[in-house]
Amino acid sequence: MTVKARFAPSPTGLVHVGNIRTAILNYLFCRKHDGQFWLRFDDTDRERAKEEFVEAIREDLAWLGLSADEEVRQSSRTAQYELAANQLRERGLLYACYETPDELDRRRKRQLARGLPPIYDRAALKLSEQELATLHAEGRKPHWRFRLPNTVGDAADLEPKQTLVKWDDLVRGPQSVDLGSLSDPVMIREDGSYLYTFTSVVDDAEMEITHVIRGEDHTTNTGVQISLFEAMGTTPPTFGHHNLLIAADGKALSKRLGSLSIQSLREEGLEAMAVVSHAALIGTSDAIEPHAEMASLASLFSPSKLSSAPARFDPAELRGLNGKMVHELGFDAVKERLAAMGVGGGDAFWMAVRGNLEVVSDALKWWNVVNADIVPVVEDDAFLSKAAELLPEDPWDDQTWSQWTSLIKGETGAKGKALFMPLRLALTGAKSGPEMQLILPLIGSARVKQRLQGQTA
Ligand code: GLU
């Protein structure tokens, strides 16, 4: 069996770290099993699905390196959905309902007041010919519900009974949903548009999707959808429900989606593979470490390693992971980005500063420290004047710092922090930063002399 999985976003907004994780887990699963990864836009919601979000999602996936073997749009498959819906209608499994949202709401409140579960009472199936004719005459348009297989008697028996749908979840092991506790789900809206619950099953069956890995918020849907697969005479795929992400403060991640969209992470200058590594490893039993290649993440990935508890997402942890990745990047991997920012200095500059960066664009700060005016911090004029007198002659290299500081130590007796910190503060204006032996020659003797006198250079 060839594994085939899909990422099926509804293009109603930007993709964020939480939902891209679904794409990443599916992608890695396919890579691991030499399978196919499909991208399917669930874009049947005429009000909310937008072309700009389709474009944005494509761009995000391309940036992250999640290339799809095939792309499908649900909006172009209405004929297939119509066909499947008609087959269910003929068998009485999809039925027309005319209640307005207000009517349904009032009914739910009455049920709750009487201590009954607020599930749809299948009133539409009890309408007489006469009542139906009146509704048609009023021009009321129906929405359509799927009749859940939760009754035991003949078609006239409308009373739901406990009916467990069971599956062996790739992540959570044996699972079940009681169809007896659910309303018959709406599959087609009044305006004729389809709900993804329905279209997804038609597509997954027709496209021979073998595995559906998605968030645990879909567990109830899975119960409904398995019964829909069965009603259509098809075999359901294997399901796996991954844990969801919550913010570091324990609240749902959705509250802070803006700053956590993939687009904003890209604009912040994060490495695509840091985002992928973090999303793939958070909430699993593997250590969160940077992986430069998809292949190593794919070989590590297994749905059974995902925890069933929600995973805490901390943007600082992602930035830390990004830093670790940047510390290992060779000059070739960044030279174009550095050039675009106006950062020069070639390989020597990059190797001097990369260990101090969280994102590549932080290199600009150190480029300015080396090249532009800084405000030197001067606390002990006499010490720095002495140091200036002892500066070695040009040309300087990575030995110059140790030669120079040995001379200063010999003359002044200063050592350790008392020796190095005043020099670092004067030369860089900061208490910490790249190794002085590497940036001293980059700053160069002219600027060093000026800065030791407290002058901006
Ligand atoms: N369009 C659905 C969503 O974004 C797809 C769920 C699924 O993967 O089946 O939630």
> Looking at ligand 1, which atom is closest to the CA of residue 213?
8
Q: How many angstroms separate the CA atoms of 410 and 220, rounded?
A: 76
* pTM for this predicted structure: 0.92
185 CA to centre of ligand 1 in angstroms: 16
Q: How many angstroms separate the CA atoms of 322 and 278, rounded?
A: 9
> Looking at ligand 1, which atom is closest to the CA of residue 204?
9
pLDDT at 255: 52
Distances (CA, A) of 296 to 204, 311, 449: 28, 22, 49
What are the φ/ψ torsions at residue 325 (nearest 5 degrees)?
-70, -40
Angle between helices 363-371 and 436-443 (to 10 degrees): 50
Which of 85, 105, 107 minimizes the C-alpha distance to 96? 85
239 CA to centre of ligand 1 in angstroms: 12
pLDDT at 257: 63
> Looking at ligand 1, which atom is closest to the CA of residue 9?
4
Tell me the pLDDT of the chain (457 aa) as tens digits. 899 999 999 999 999 999 999 999 999 999 999 999 999 999 999 899 999 999 999 999 999 999 999 999 999 999 999 999 999 999 999 999 999 999 999 999 999 999 999 999 999 999 999 999 999 899 999 999 999 999 988 888 999 999 999 999 999 999 999 999 999 999 999 999 999 999 999 999 999 999 999 999 999 999 999 999 999 999 999 999 999 999 878 887 765 566 789 999 999 999 999 999 999 999 999 999 999 999 999 999 999 999 999 999 999 999 999 999 999 999 999 999 999 999 999 999 999 999 999 999 999 999 999 998 888 898 899 999 999 999 999 999 999 999 999 999 999 999 999 999 999 999 999 999 999 999 999 999 999 999 999 887 5
Question: How, if at all, do strands 70-73 and 36-41 pair?
Answer: parallel
Q: Which two tokens stand for residue 203?
A: 């597509």
435 CA to centre of ligand 1 in angstroms: 49
223 CA to centre of ligand 1 in angstroms: 14
9 CA to centre of ligand 1 in angstroms: 6
Residues across the chain? 457
> Looking at ligand 1, which atom is closest to the CA of residue 19?
4
126 CA to centre of ligand 1 in angstroms: 33
* 3-class DSSP state of 146: strand
DSSP class of residue 448 equals H
- Which of 7, 197, 201, 214 is the best mutation target for the ligand 1 pocket, counting ligand atoms within 8 Å of the beta carbon and taking the most? 214
Nearest residue (by CA) to ligand 1, atom 5, is 8
- Which of 218, 220, 225 is the best mutation target for the ligand 1 pocket, counting ligand atoms within 8 Å of the beta carbon and taking the most? 218
* 3-class DSSP state of 212: strand
> Looking at ligand 1, which atom is closest to the CA of residue 217?
10
2 CA to centre of ligand 1 in angstroms: 22
10 CA to centre of ligand 1 in angstroms: 7
Q: How many angstroms separate the CA atoms of 169 and 176, rounded?
A: 10
pLDDT at 457: 57
159 CA to centre of ligand 1 in angstroms: 30
Nearest residue (by CA) to ligand 1, atom 3, is 9
Question: 218 and 167 in contact (C-beta within 8 Å)?
Answer: no
DSSP class of residue 396 equals P
Nearest residue (by CA) to ligand 1, atom 4, is 9
pLDDT at 303: 97
> Looking at ligand 1, which atom is closest to the CA of residue 218?
6
- Which of 42, 45, 204, 226 is the best mutation target for the ligand 1 pocket, counting ligand atoms within 8 Å of the beta carbon and taking the most? 42
DSSP string over 224-269 = HHHHHHHHTT----EEEEEPPEEETTSSBGGGGTGGGBHHHHHHTT
